[in-house]
């Protein structure tokens, strides 16, 4: 990976959004969004539809020009950087939906995805094998056309492709869409493994309760503003959050 942003102190936030304003056309979605993401954590972003969760990710990854505000990554101001430059700096964005080459095999999808890493990465074949090892349900389908995979397996293929670039920050939007309960747990387990290896995960997830249960921090967005941020357990236990965003109050333990 390129090393544009200097390596800051380990206790410094890896990502900071400061008073970010942005949207689409005349519609403003982000209304002074301000928050920081701690290094080496899983942070789950929750909030109602239209709160700005996915828009926030697009702003961070340079897909949405800011009207005002700043974004810092590893202590460096990256406002206005292109997605390619952010990718080289260590940020990977895995959006909603399916973003694969359906007519190619799983392995060829990984090889094409590796092109984004550039010629400076010499060990890509080994990285591809390591990625396949992390997703055993896909290793046996490595030479199968990607269009024949289940929706959940296609999402896992996208995650695998992102891991090839050895990111320090992964933005992942709705990773469990289309996954069976078994694959959801497998995917969440992989995200925790990545966190344990030092990768920071910022996640939007429709299954907010399950995502918070495997997260270190939670962030509540509403009307394009960060309303609440703190330890995931505190977010889960907050009766206001449970009522508004988690499908009702938490049940007391037996």
In this predicted structure, what is the pLDDT of residue 19? 97
Q: pLDDT of 4-22, one tens digit each?
A: 454 555 578 999 999 999 9
Q: What's the pLDDT score for residue 252?
A: 38
Query: If you search the block for the tokens 């293929």, which residue do you land on?
Result: 157
| Sequential DSSP letters for the chain | ----S----TTS-SEEEEEEEEEETTEEEEEEEEEEE-TT-EEEEE--TTSSHHHHHHHHTTSS--SEEEEEETTEE-TT--HHHHHHHTEEEE-SS--S-TTSBHHHHHHHHGGGG-TT---HHHHHHHHHHH-HHHHTTTTSBGGGS-HHHHHHHHHHHHHTT--SEEEEE-TTTT--HHHHHHHHHHHHHHHHTT-EEEEE-SSHHHHHHT-SEEEEEETTEEEEEEEHHHHHH-HHHHHHHSSSPPPPP-
- d(CA 100, CA 79) in angstroms, rounded, equals 28
pLDDT (0 to 100) of residue 133? 87
pLDDT at 22: 95
For residues 252 and 194, the model is more confident at 194
* pLDDT at 60 (0 to 100): 97
Mean confidence (pLDDT) of the chain = 86
Residues 108-129 pLDDT 10s? 999 887 676 565 566 788 888 8
pLDDT band at 233 (very low <50, low <70, confident <90, very high): very high
pLDDT band for position 251 (50/70/90)? very low
pLDDT at 1 over 80: no
**Residue 50 or 219, more confident:** 219
């Amino acid at each position: 990976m390129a090393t544009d942003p200097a390596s800051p102190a380990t206790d410094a936030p890896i990502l900071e959004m400061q008073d970010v304003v942005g949207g689409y056309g005349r519609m403003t979605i982000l209304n002074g969004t301000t928050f920081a993401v701690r290094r080496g954590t899983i942070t789950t972003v929750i909030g109602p539809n239209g709160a700005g969760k996915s828009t926030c990710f697009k702003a961070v990854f340079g897909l949405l020009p800011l009207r005002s505000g700043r974004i810092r990554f590893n202590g460096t101001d990256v406002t206005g950087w292109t997605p390619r430059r952010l990718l080289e700096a260590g940020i990977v964005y895995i959006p909603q939906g399916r973003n694969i080459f359906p007519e190619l095999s799983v392995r060829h999808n990984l090889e094409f995805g590796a092109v984004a890493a550039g010629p400076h990465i010499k060990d890509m074949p080994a990285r591809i094998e390591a990625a396949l090892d992390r997703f055993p349900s896909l290793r046996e389908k490595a030479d199968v056309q990607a269009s024949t995979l289940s929706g959940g397996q296609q999402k896992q293929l996208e995650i695998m492709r992102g891991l090839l670039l050895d990111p320090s920050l992964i933005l992942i939007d709705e990773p469990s869409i289309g996954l069976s309960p078994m694959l959801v747990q497998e995917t969440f387990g992989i995200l925790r493994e990545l966190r344990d290896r030092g990768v920071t995960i910022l996640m939007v997830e429709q299954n907010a309760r399950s995502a918070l249960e495997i997260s270190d921090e939670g962030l509540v967005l509403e009307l394009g503003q960060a309303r609440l941020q703190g330890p995931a357990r505190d977010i889960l236990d907050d009766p206001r959050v449970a009522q508004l965003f988690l499908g009702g109050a938490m049940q007391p333990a037996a």
